[in-house]
A and B are shown apart, each in its own frame.
Chain A
Amino acid sequence: MSHDAADIGAMFVHFLAMSMLAIGGALATAPDVHRFIVNEHHWLDDQQFSAAIALAQAAPGPNLLFVPVIGYSVAGLLGALVALAGMLIPSTTLTLAVSRWGSKRRDHRGVRAFVAGMAPITIGLLLTTGGLLALPLVQRQAAWWLIAATVALSLKTKVNPVWLIAVGAAAGALGWV
């Protein structure tokens, strides 16, 4: 896949914006990354998008790594670096500027109102991300069972997610999903 500089630039700008909007963690931005990459620009399809997030979840490291994987799927190594840089620069700058200020004002009414007000939005965005990942699988009944079993096991037991991902990979490789 080849993209010109304008495409890569547009992706960079999109991730700059995502960085500032990533209040509930990186995965909460997945719906908007999907809207931009899949719906608007058609650089990836639903299945490729889900694969990128599944790969990032299967590998060790912070969830944010789904961003360079998406960048890589769109435009190779350069895409990965551009996406990651976009995702990190604004939030990193702000964090360093504000962290000393914020630690003294944790109980400030404004800070508490911000945390409380953003909480339901974060959870809504996470549910949307889960739904988006399930999107390419809607016609496969076995996948519904796998999703339901994963939710149940994660809620009821302390099983390490990496085992669940391994089971999912094995079931998929055997052609069951």
Chain B
Amino acid sequence: MRVFSLLALQGFGGVLPVAQREIVERRRWLSREQFVETLSIGQVLPGPNVVNLALIIGDRFFGWRGAFAALAGMLALPLVIVLTLAALYARFAAEPQVAGALRGMGAVAAGLIIATACKLLPTLARNPLGRVACAVALLATLASVGVLRWPMAFAVIGIGGSAVLAAWWRLGRRP
């Protein structure tokens, strides 16, 4: 649990790179390949993937108690910190400097998330769906959830489901 607390606290804007260094390079709990494999399972499953990673590693080494210790370690301290910040913000939200600072942070947060999406875009070039189908699925998601404000369940189950079926078909055609 201490390890996961440590990891979580270092993880500004995302815990993954720190987790990789600590678990693979320093503690040697997993090899690099095992780490990637565990992470990809965490990504396939729903739920925040770093949390899934903590659960799987905790479970593998220490059983279900380890899984919950890892989860608690990952979340407890950051939760206290972030809620303290939220409480402070709620108290001082009327101050123009505080409101301004949050606006600035919001702009940067928007930029960071857009940049993350841009960094992931090249991975679609190797996607078995092919570029055109990927572009269609991506734009359909943007249009339905972003512009039309339809519930996300439609995008994930409707568009995602069709894309998964298409990928299944493509993967069967060229083994």
Asked if A pairs with B, the answer is yes
Q: Which of B37, B43, B71, B146 contacts A115 (CB 8 A)?
A: B43
Whether the Cβ atoms of B118 and A110 lie closer than 8 Å is: no
In Å, the complex CA distance between A17 and B154 comes to: 12
Whether the Cβ atoms of B44 and A133 lie closer than 8 Å is: no
Whether the Cβ atoms of B146 and A172 lie closer than 8 Å is: no
Whether the Cβ atoms of A35 and B41 lie closer than 8 Å is: no
Q: Which residues of A contact B85 (CB under 8 A)?
A: 55, 58-59
Q: Which of A23, A29, A106, A165 contacts B160 (CB 8 A)?
A: A23
In Å, the complex CA distance between A111 and B167 comes to: 10
In Å, the complex CA distance between A65 and B149 comes to: 23
| CB 8 Å contact bits of B145-170 with A (1 = contact, 0 = none) | 11001011101100111111111100
Whether the Cβ atoms of A99 and B56 lie closer than 8 Å is: yes
| CB 8 Å contact bits of A142-170 with B (1 = contact, 0 = none) | 01001111110011000011101101111
B84-132 with Cβ < 8 A to chain A: 85-87, 89-90, 93, 96-121, 123-124, 127-129
Number of residues in A with C-beta < 8 Å to the partner?
Answer: 107
In Å, the complex CA distance between A124 and B64 comes to: 35
Given known A-B contacts A58-B105, A120-B138, A150-B111, A90 and B46 have beta carbons under 8 A apart: yes
Q: Is B24 an interface residue (CB 8 A)?
A: no
Q: Is B23 an interface residue (CB 8 A)?
A: no
Q: Which of B105, B142, B149 contacts A169 (CB 8 A)?
A: B105
In Å, the complex CA distance between A124 and B159 comes to: 11
Q: Which of A19, A23, A59, A175 contacts B100 (CB 8 A)?
A: A175
Q: Which of A64, A92, A109 contacts B171 (CB 8 A)?
A: A109
Whether the Cβ atoms of B114 and A114 lie closer than 8 Å is: no
Q: Tell me, rounded to whole Å, the shortest Cβ–Cβ distance linking B156 to chain A.
A: 5
If over half of B's interface residues share one DSSP class (helix, strand or loop), that class is named, otherwise mixed; here it is: helix
Whether the Cβ atoms of B160 and A136 lie closer than 8 Å is: no
Scoring B89, B113, B135 by chain A CB atoms within 10 A of each residue's CB, the highest score goes to B113
Q: Which residues of B contact A124 (CB under 8 A)?
A: 137-142, 145-146, 155
If over half of A's interface residues share one DSSP class (helix, strand or loop), that class is named, otherwise mixed; here it is: helix
Q: Is B9 an interface residue (CB 8 A)?
A: yes
Given known A-B contacts A32-B152, A106-B41, A91 and B52 have beta carbons under 8 A apart: yes
In Å, the complex CA distance between A61 and B155 comes to: 28
A interface residues with partner B (beta carbon < 8 Å): 17-27, 29, 31-32, 35, 39, 47, 50-65, 68-69, 72-73, 77, 80, 84, 87-88, 90-92, 94-96, 98-99, 102-103, 106, 109-134, 136-137, 140, 143, 146-151, 154-155, 160-162, 164-165, 167-177
User: What are 29 inter-chain pairs, A to B, with CB distance below 8 A?
Assistant: A31-B152, A39-B149, A50-B102, A53-B109, A54-B106, A57-B109, A65-B79, A80-B83, A109-B171, A110-B168, A117-B164, A118-B160, A119-B120, A120-B133, A120-B138, A120-B141, A121-B155, A121-B160, A123-B121, A123-B138, A143-B104, A147-B114, A148-B111, A150-B108, A165-B112, A169-B105, A173-B98, A174-B100, A176-B100
Q: Give 5 nearest A-B pairs by CB, closest first.
A: A91-B47, A61-B78, A172-B104, A150-B111, A124-B141
B interface residues with partner A (beta carbon < 8 Å): 8-15, 37-38, 40-52, 55-56, 59, 64, 67, 71, 74-75, 77-79, 81-83, 85-87, 89-90, 93, 96-121, 123-124, 127-129, 133-135, 137-142, 145-146, 149, 151-153, 155-156, 159-168, 171-172
